[in-house]
Structure 1
Amino acid sequence: MNSDKKILIIEDDELMIKILTFILNKEGYQLIVIRDGLSATEQLGTIHPNMVITDLLLPYKSGLEVISHVKENFEAIPIIVLSALGEEEHSVSEAFKLGADDFIAKPFNPNELVLRVKRLLPH
């Protein structure tokens, strides 16, 4: 079981939050959902997640700023970027340059998400 693995989800779309929590709760992960980039960067140090899943388009602080903050302060935390393809293609390559570990285009296959999470968060 993955109940000792904590994933921070940074997403402001309610439907996407519901989908992600449904899929990852089923896998037994502990989830913390934050709806904007600023709150996420402020709370990272107290949350101590094992992984971050973030959108790129976020209120107050962009996903790119979040990735940069995570990698500067908590280098070992893997980051998966979730984003609608085409919306910000140059941002995806920028996300990888900043240290993102994976990218999943919305809409995504739930099984693919689970496989990618498990690959970056081994038991």
Structure 2
Amino acid sequence: MKILVAEDEPMLLKTIELKLKKEGYEVIATIDGREAISKIESEQPDLVISDIMMPYASGLELTAILKKGEKQIPIIILSAMEQEKVVMEAFELGADDYITKPFSLNELSIRVKRLMTRLGKS
């Protein structure tokens, strides 16, 4: 299974990438929203994990793009913001899950597995 990770904090991006690769996933790491959009189009990932605040395109913009496409790619949003308004907007746009930073890599792994099982993609 192919997972695209969009995160503008290089250390966190690398940490998530290593954890998911260790779990057996193919990982496409992107550092901003523009790169993520390009890679989504060319790589066709099975799942997107995106930070909410990134240069060029936010996680909310990515969610809107993903949910308007023919292939409804699931997305997990990562954010340091716990504001209810932002969380609600993410879900209204179609986000499949929302994880508040800081988070455990094991929690992320479990949420990825649970989401993929629920969608029949595991």
Q: Is the structural similarity TM-score above 0.5?
A: yes
TM-score normalized with structure 1 length: 0.88
Rounded Cα–Cα distance in structure 2 between residues aligned with 1:75 and 1:84:
28
Counterpart residue number, 1:53: 49
1:90/1:75 CA distance change after superposition, 3 Å: farther
Corresponding residue for residue 92 of structure 1 = 87
Q: TM-score, normalised by structure 2?
A: 0.89
In structure 2, distance between residues paired with 1:39 and 1:114:
23
User: Deviation at 1:76?
Assistant: 2.4
**Alignment-derived partner of residue 121 in structure 1:** 116
Q: Distance in 2 between matches of 1:90 and 1:37?
A: 21
* Alpha-carbon distance in 1 for matches of 2:87, 2:18: 25
Which AA in structure 1 matches 2:47? M
Output the CA distance in 2 between the equivalents of 1:7 and 1:74.
18
> Within 5 A, what are the aligned runs for 1:1-20?
5-20=1-16
Unaligned runs of 5+ in 1: none
> Which segment is superposed worse, 68-77 or 22-31?
68-77
Counterpart of 1:34 (choices 23, 27, 30) is: 30
Match for residue 106 of structure 1 among 95, 101, 104: 101
Over the matched positions of the two proteins, sequence identity in percent amounts to: 47
Unaligned runs of 5+ in 2: none
